[in-house]
A and B are shown apart, each in its own frame.
Chain A
Amino acid sequence: MPKYQKWFRRWFNNPKQQEDSQEKQSSVELLPVYPSIQDNLTFLKNAFGHSSDLQIQELTIGKSPTVRIGIAYIDSLVNADKVMTLIKDLLGKELTQPNETHPHSHVRDWIKENLTVVGDMKEIRDWNRVSKMLLSGHTVVFVDGTNQAVSGDTSSVEHRAVTEPKTQIATKGPNEGFTESLRTNISLIRKRIKSPNLRVKKKPIGQVTRTDVALLYMEGIANPKVVKEVKKRLENINTDKILDTGEIGEWIEDQKFTLFPTLVSYERPDSIVSHLAEGRVAILVDGTPYAIAVPVTFLKILQSAEDYFMRYDLASVLRLLRIVAFMISLYGSAMYIALTAFHQEMLPTSLLISIGAQRQGVPFPVMVEALLMEGTFEILREAAVRAPRALGQPLAIMGAVVIGETAVVAGLVSPIMVIVVAITGISSYVAPEAAVTITSRILRFGFMLISGVFGLYGILLVTIAMVAHMQSLRSFGVPYLAPISPLVWSDLKDSVVRLPHWMLSNRPHELKPQRLWRIKYKVGDRVEYDD
């Protein structure tokens, strides 16, 4: 752990609070289930604080001998039909020959064997498991006289159907997006990878929310060291709630203080599948439609899923376009400031005269003008995103009229400034990942400030510092600027451009995958798939 992190923890964490929370955590009931169902049910009621959605029913089943059983479930989490069938089944069926010595444990076994309407039958011995099963929508059956309970899966949680992804938009390729249900999401991935080597490891994280977090990777392809490292970092997360992958991301990033994203979240299962197949590791979180893939490099983030679905020539051109757009969104307004304020001799004379004429009457220096316009643009953008749908259209019109027309007429800004701001603003949305958009939006202001002071000199020097920073970044040990620095020739095939699929015979070197070759050419052989 870096030094500053330790320091932060020591500074911000009150040691008293820490002890307190640990104490509460240790009071988890590791008590065994009582043999008497009366005791059990009372204990359960108390443990849940008489919560109104905890349903408890007592039944008597069998004729001679009769056995009392208790059924408990949380009605907001279960499918009522399933529970009803379960109860009917219990009441309707005749008990087989009772075991003389242990009549009650016999009933338990009988329940376990005969309740076929519900899946995932489990024996439970302690209260910790009982509460866990109840909270994940299972129904727990207590049998009088035994200190074991049986639970069956009756869960049905409301969730959205699989729909088109909202944020990660592509024009080609599959149109399914992740949903909020972890099970659905994993099934969306399984559906696309028909291999037993896809490994799914689940683990609850968060003391309060106990959110299921799943780690997915391809055994035999993913680098075991990376998998181990991701597991370790996930285990080290110490928090009370996890609601989105973004929260996980902040805990497991390599470098905490950077504007560049070292992991990205995807909403499309096909993106995650292509990452898994290249040897990356995916992290899915229950309750959010975004999944993380690690490790990623800068160029990988600038790529879009559909790059692999369209023809390579078009994909290459689009990738180049995206890089150029990223540059424009970073440098556009800064370059304008530098050229007009410091290096007028570099502009063609006619353009310079035109700019000079337009700026006549503008009361601010170029830098202030640019900052003003960019700031307004950002505010409008944020408002348009947050505003209710119905307000979106009026906002857009207002923004267009206010910025494009009135500000110019009022003599606050020059028309050319509006063009520059519009181009840089639109360019920043070409990047397929929202994370990169944020990077360029924040850095843009830095570049504008420095170019207002030092012109091109400042822009280039800060760029040098930026490149040095990027090249020191690591995403789970993988250099951020790979395959350019460090240079890997064979990986350049799928970086700034994309060559045809049949030429991409190896997986990225920078990931150090266990199986490097994804295509094996053997003359006269049929294609074989190794699992």
Chain B
Amino acid sequence: MRQHVTEKVQSYQLFSLVVFFELGTTIVLGNGIHQARQDAWLANLLGVGVGLLLFLVYARLYLRYPALSLTGSLQKICGKPVGWILGLVYVEYFLYLAARDLKDFTRLLQVGYFPLMPIAVTASFMLLIVIYVLTKGLEGLAGTSFVFFIFFSVMFCTTDVLILLFGEVKPEQLQPVLENGWRPVFQTVFPLMLTFPYGEMIAFTMMLPFCRNQPRKNVKTALWGILVSGLVLTVTVILDIVVSGVDISARSSFPYLITISQVEVGTFLQRLDVVTILVLIMGGFFKIGVFLHAAVVGAADLFGVHNPRKFLLPFATVVLVTFLTMAESLMEHIQIGLQIVPKYVHLPLQLGIPLLLLIVDGVKSRTKKQRSAGENFS
């Protein structure tokens, strides 16, 4: 009776997974407010554009080899040994990203909600649930994301309307526009926003081949997902600035939380803070889930293991250990995250190698064409 079931991921499920992945924890943090201040919305709009362009690079790679995930196309383009090693690097990269996100997420949780809970406990619990959901495969992850997407969109729209209606909206707080010129805006977009969250879309190159059998439509869906999540981020940032003001937002670690707490409808509807914690947990969950799944599928592909689920438990353990040992202190973690990782890890892996791959592939196919053309003539 299994033939009844479409095991492939449907496009709306892919869409919701992309949206959750992109929003992740960023929505609560006020993407770019800390760097670009009142021009954060400009930075966000610019960021979406750049993010879409960046995804077009991955999409081009995927459309060249619609049946292959990133690890597969690496081996196809670079040859077996080089591609295999690069694939392994990517698997480790995804694991590292999962651990990083787990760290960010549990830190936020600790600061905002559970000051007394050891982060190792919250992290282990999160990983446990991620493992369980991933045993249902990509379909399980994406399907679950769609169910929660309905929940999320209703919640998000209501909250935002309530904020607009009942918060103290002061549009003049958006001024002055471009107080310090374009420079801070560009600096926010590149490399910070480019690599996080948009560059992380590289994890989806591991999943697109397992989506519905229409590569072009899949790409289009993912692009829509990026666009929508970018707009949602922009709207959130604008609301943060307009309602709470730039100074408060930039100083706080949860601008959205402060914005939401402004809503008070009479005496009966107040304390909507619960929305932020729900959004934060959902975003964190799907982000970690996507990274772990990408790593697991990649490893299964590289080692020729038929059932990727076998990697779930060991990889989750690796993530947990990395999580526990990756930084001595919070400051060190943030320092590494903002200064070192974007330049030396994210940029080459998210932008450099995919671009190189495209170039190599283009050159290869051209020479092949020329060669075959030459053979025809001779």
Contact = CB atoms under 8 A, between A and B. Distances in A.
Contacts of B109: 457
Interface stretch (B42-50, B79-87, B267-275): B267-275
B278 A476 contact: no
Interface stretch (B3-11, B63-71, B200-208, B224-232): B3-11
A372 interface: no
Contacts of B114: 342, 455, 457
A465 interface: yes
B122 A467 contact: no
B1 interface: yes
Contacts of A472: 136, 140
A468 B271 contact: no
B366 to A, nearest CB: 42
Contacts of B122: 454, 457
Given A346-B274, A468-B141, A485-B147, A479 B285 contact: no
A302 interface: no
A512 B150 CA distance: 25
Interface string B259-282: 000000001001101100110011
B182 interface: no
A235 interface: no
A114 B267 CA distance: 88
A465 B6 CA distance: 21
Among B2, B6, B13, B143, max chain A CB count under 10 A is at: B143
Contacts of B133: 464-465, 468
B143 A471 contact: yes
Contacts of B270: 348
Nearest to B6: A486
A224 B143 CA distance: 28
B144 to A, nearest CB: 4
A229 interface: yes
Interface in A342-359: 342-343, 345-348
A301 interface: no
A192 interface: no
Nearest to A456: B277
Contacts of B281: 456-457, 460-461
Contact of B5 (A346, A456, A464, A477): A477
A465 B132 contact: yes
Interface string B109-125: 10001100100001001
A88 B282 CA distance: 81
B325 to A, nearest CB: 23
A464 B117 CA distance: 21
Contacts of B278: 456, 460
Given A468-B141, A484-B147, A512 B136 contact: no
A456 B144 contact: no
Interface in A220-262: 225-226, 229, 254
Interface in A447-469: 454-458, 460-462, 464-465, 467-469
B126 interface: yes
A478 interface: yes
Contacts of A454: 117, 122, 125
B146 interface: yes
B1 A225 contact: yes
Given A467-B144, A474-B5, A462 B271 contact: no
Contacts of B113: 342-343, 455-457
Given A455-B114, A456-B277, A457-B122, A487 B4 contact: no
B5 A484 contact: no
Contacts of B93: none
B129 A477 contact: no
Contacts of B4: 225, 474, 477-478, 512
B196 interface: no
Nearest to A462: B129
Nearest to A512: B4
Contacts of A462: 129
A481 interface: yes
Interface in B26-58: none
Nearest to A350: B267
B12 interface: yes
Interface in A472-511: 472, 474, 476-479, 481, 484-487
B264 to A, nearest CB: 10
B17 to A, nearest CB: 12
A458 B125 contact: yes
A472 B132 CA distance: 12
Contacts of B132: 465, 468-469
B311 interface: no
A346 B112 CA distance: 12
Contacts of B148: 464, 467
A33 to B, nearest CB: 44
B147 A467 contact: yes
Nearest to B131: A465
A461 B129 contact: yes
29 contacts: A225-B4, A342-B114, A343-B274, A343-B277, A346-B271, A348-B267, A348-B270, A454-B125, A455-B113, A456-B277, A456-B281, A457-B109, A457-B125, A457-B281, A461-B125, A462-B129, A464-B129, A464-B148, A465-B129, A465-B132, A471-B136, A471-B144, A472-B136, A474-B4, A477-B5, A478-B4, A486-B13, A487-B10, A487-B146
Given A465-B132, A481-B143, 6 more contacts: A345-B271, A460-B278, A464-B129, A467-B148, A468-B140, A468-B141
The 6 A-B residue pairs with the shortest CB-CB distance, nearest first, are: A477-B1, A477-B4, A468-B133, A471-B143, A468-B144, A472-B136
